[in-house]
Amino acid sequence: MKNPDQKTIYKITGDTQLLKKEILFFLGFASLFSWSAMLLVWPKISSDFQFGSLKAVEELFGITPLLYGFGPFLSAIIVTLLFRGKKDLQALFRKVIEWRVSVKWYLLALFIPPLLQLIGFLIWNSFAKTSVAWPTFGEFVFSWLQIVMVATLYYISEELGWRGFMQPRFLSFKNVLKSTLALGIIWSVWHYPIWITSTWLTAGSWGEVIEMVLANTFYATSITFFIAWIFQNSNGSILLAMLFHGAGQATMIKLYSLAGDSAVTESSLIITIATVYTVAVLILIRAIFMTTTRPEKT
């Protein structure tokens, strides 16, 4: 029985085999485009590279992380055109400007990330005893909002593909809980080449790489549940997915700046934040997702 309170995301036509084929093509192209960007980095890693130097790592990567993010964007466009045509591509892009949503969902998308990440940061700092030079509230918020605006615009690169293209297709043949978990894991794995490379270069330890990748996997998967929840209740608004992603990235930039370089080169901060997110997601699943039934096929 369909939950009467569940909002329709947006309709996906086609049988299950077609949807699965679209997903496989999307994942193939997204991985090809994004992982190929790492060819701008890997050949430049020499035996005399300054492992542990954040400045050296930043110079090595350059604009590679920005290019990496556009793999899902390009893939969504290509696969939509291949299988559905211009009309469906236009419908996909209309979801980017789906702004007629209750203010409540804008507020949740904007403030859930900083709330959970600040809780994680404060817990981490209570154990790490790091000396933090807190800026004034006004300075922090003004700077944070500037980063949020830029990051939100940039994250059309990822969200057009992961939320706009992938999530509605998963939801056409899987229930919300399973589809969200699968999407979170896939989204995490897509990040692995850049996570593994950047952590190895900054930490120089494969043990640290494993810890960092696992923590980021839990973190990204938890984020996926929150974005899925907002996405469902905003008529499939890619704009709000971009806002959530942008707010989270802006907060991480500010927190790592406060924590210092040592927090970047070791995993304790992201492990703590990922743990807070995971607990919050378990509460969300208990309260929201467990009441959601298998979606009807379209």
Q: pLDDT tens-digit profile of 190-220? A: 999 999 999 999 988 899 999 999 999 999 9
Model confidence at 288, pLDDT cuts 50, 70, 90, reads confident
Average pLDDT estimate for 29-51: 95
CA distance 226 to 248: 11
Residue 52 has pLDDT above 60, yes or no: yes
Mean pLDDT score of the chain: 91
Q: Report pLDDT for 291.
A: 61
pTM: 0.92
CA distance 26 to 75: 5
Q: Report pLDDT for 3.
A: 42
* 49 or 114, which is more confident: 114
**What percent of the chain has pLDDT above 90?**
78
Residue 1 has pLDDT above 80, yes or no: no
Q: pLDDT tens-digit profile of 112-121? A: 999 999 999 9
